[in-house]
Amino acid sequence: MTLVSDSFDSSISVEADAEFKVKGSAGLSKPFFKSLGSLGLGLHFLSDERKIITDLAPPQDEDTDPDDFSDYLLKQKAGSLHSRNYLEKAIQRAVESIRKQAIAGSGAGELNANTLYTNITRQIVSPYLRGPHKESLGLSDLVDDLNRQAARSASFARFGLSSELPADDLLAALQSPRAVEHSDLLHQILRPFVDGFKVRLDAQQTLHDKISTFVETINAFFQGKKISFRLGPGFVVTSDHGGIINPNVLSSGEKQLLLLLCNILAAGGEASIFIIDEPELSLNVKWQRKLVDALLDCTRDTRTQFVLATHSLELLTQHQHNVLKLEERTPV
């Protein structure tokens, strides 16, 4: 196994016994893991005990030395921290990550909106920036844009990422018979407002899509319950009758899925490697068939790689071109 970059060249030989346990001292791998860490990759490991080991968590959260992450991975079965609630911590990390991204997106949206209004003001006060005289503008394009941004804002407001654009009264006024007589004036007043709202939504679009995909993916697995998200309360699981369900009382398969996808969501857009030992545990056959596609959907357009160790034919047969078989070597 070798890593090479402009700043380092580190290699390590790894051997495993018939039970696929790594042979040799864990200390031999330290240079390799330090080199791996220097790449700026997020490292996340989900063991077969459903214990998540991740560099997203602060050191005291996982009772491990951040400089000794490789040793901890190799010794992950040595002890089990039963008092830890990894699911709650994963959910908390995901919510905190979303909130940070929402704040960043909000700031970017305000900056873009300010730039938009500054450019409009310059065009008004400077005859050199006004451009050639245009014929009187119709209202159909303004009405279409207003409808489009109103529909978008309703979806963003569902997650608490934006207020909903109050378009009903505006649309009614724009569609009145006398509105055509004042189309130029209405464009001057409303076009900056609509465009300003659009740039604010655009700044949150990536985060919105990420949350939407997460919620839709989880709910495609859940039956008799669903998960929702708002920026204030975070993730909430409810029954079909509207009652709130504590995530800790979900089935083992539901908890595993939520644990895994929350940690993926918490990783944000950073380059990450997720190593998952026996992801099929606690999942029925139908869920096993859907799992890999769910992971890929939730990491679309991100720099995330999955390494899965599995015995599930349901996982293997659908992705044979990415399967490597581990075999015992007989020493020569």
Mark whether 228 and 279 lie in a shared domain: yes
What is the Cα gyration radius of the chain? 26
pLDDT band at 3 (very low <50, low <70, confident <90, very high): very low
Residue 66 lies in a domain: yes
Mark whether 267 and 172 lie in a shared domain: no
User: What does the alpha-carbon distance between residue 203 and residue 112 come to, in Å, rounded to a whole number?
Assistant: 8
**Mean pLDDT computed over 141-146:** 88
Mark whether 126 and 274 lie in a shared domain: no
User: H helices within the chain, ranges in order?
Assistant: 30-38, 59-62, 69-74, 86-125, 140-158, 168-174, 183-221, 252-266, 285-298, 313-317
**Mean pLDDT computed over 77-92:** 63
Instruction: Residue count of the chain, please give it.
Output: 332
User: What does the alpha-carbon distance between residue 243 and residue 237 come to, in Å, rounded to a whole number?
Assistant: 8
* pLDDT computed for residue 273 by the predictor: 87
pLDDT band at 79 (very low <50, low <70, confident <90, very high): very low
Mark whether 220 and 86 lie in a shared domain: yes
Q: 3-state DSSP call for residue 196?
A: helix
* pLDDT computed for residue 33 by the predictor: 59
Select from 185, 204, 223 the last residue of a domain: 204
User: What does the alpha-carbon distance between residue 52 and residue 64 come to, in Å, rounded to a whole number?
Assistant: 12
Top pLDDT among 249 and 117 is at 249
By residue range, what is the domain housing residue 311? Answer: 31-94+211-322
Residue 18 lies in a domain: no
- 24-76 pLDDT, tens digit each: 545 555 665 566 666 677 788 877 666 777 766 655 455 544 455 555 454 44
Nearest to 259 by CA among 224, 230, 221: 221
* pLDDT computed for residue 325 by the predictor: 80
Mark whether 237 and 288 lie in a shared domain: yes
Top pLDDT among 233 and 138 is at 233
User: What does the alpha-carbon distance between residue 10 and residue 250 come to, in Å, rounded to a whole number?
Assistant: 44
Mark whether 162 and 70 lie in a shared domain: no
* pLDDT computed for residue 69 by the predictor: 52
User: How is the beta sheet containing 244-245 ordered, strand by strand?
Assistant: 225-230, 234-239, 244-245
Residue 6 lies in a domain: no
Q: CB within 8 A of 243, min separation 6: which ones? A: none
Mark whether 196 and 283 lie in a shared domain: no
Burial 148-164 (b: 16+ CB within 10 A, else e): ebbebbeebebbbbbee
* pLDDT computed for residue 139 by the predictor: 82
Comparing 60-69, 147-156, 273-282, 322-331, the range with the smallest average pLDDT is 60-69
Mark whether 132 and 275 lie in a shared domain: no
Q: What are phi and psi of 261, to 5 degrees?
A: -70, -30
- 12-36 pLDDT, tens digit each: 555 555 444 555 545 555 665 566 6
Q: CB within 8 A of 192, min separation 6: which ones? A: 116, 117, 120
- 116-142 pLDDT, tens digit each: 556 656 655 555 444 544 444 578 888
- 221-232 pLDDT, tens digit each: 999 999 999 999
State how far the alpha carbon of 270 is from the alpha carbons of 4, 109, 129, 219, 326, in Å. Answer: 20, 21, 41, 25, 29
What pTM value is reported for the model?
Answer: 0.75
**Mean pLDDT computed over 211-220:** 96
Q: How many CB atoms lie within 10 A of CB 116?
A: 16
User: What does the alpha-carbon distance between residue 44 and residue 52 come to, in Å, rounded to a whole number?
Assistant: 7
Mean pLDDT (the chain, rounded): 77
Q: CATH no. for residue 226?
A: 3.40.50
Mark whether 219 and 188 lie in a shared domain: no
Mark whether 192 and 253 lie in a shared domain: no
Mark whether 57 and 152 lie in a shared domain: no
Comparing 69-78, 85-94, 269-278, the range with the smallest average pLDDT is 69-78
Residue 190 lies in a domain: yes
* pLDDT computed for residue 50 by the predictor: 67
**Mean pLDDT computed over 208-214:** 96
Select from 166, 187, 204 the last residue of a domain: 204
Residue 21 lies in a domain: no
Residue 304 lies in a domain: yes
Residue 198: exposed, middle, or buried by beta-carbon count in 10 A (0-12, 13-18, 19+)? buried
* pLDDT computed for residue 58 by the predictor: 57
* pLDDT computed for residue 184 by the predictor: 81
Q: List residues bridging with 44 in a β-sheet.
A: 54, 274
Q: How many domains does the chain have?
A: 2
Q: List residues bridging with 3 in a β-sheet.
A: 10
* pLDDT computed for residue 135 by the predictor: 46
Residue 332 lies in a domain: no
135 token code pair:
């014929």
* pLDDT computed for residue 61 by the predictor: 54
97 token code pair:
């990550």
Mark whether 220 and 303 lie in a shared domain: yes
Cβ atoms of 83 and 170 within 8 Å: the answer is no
278 token code pair:
């026996």
Percent of the chain residues past pLDDT 70, beyond the cut: 67
Residue 14 lies in a domain: no
* pLDDT computed for residue 115 by the predictor: 67
* pLDDT computed for residue 78 by the predictor: 40
* pLDDT computed for residue 140 by the predictor: 85
* pLDDT computed for residue 301 by the predictor: 84
Select from 146, 175, 204 the last residue of a domain: 204
Beta 42-46 vs 304-309: how paired, if at all?
unpaired
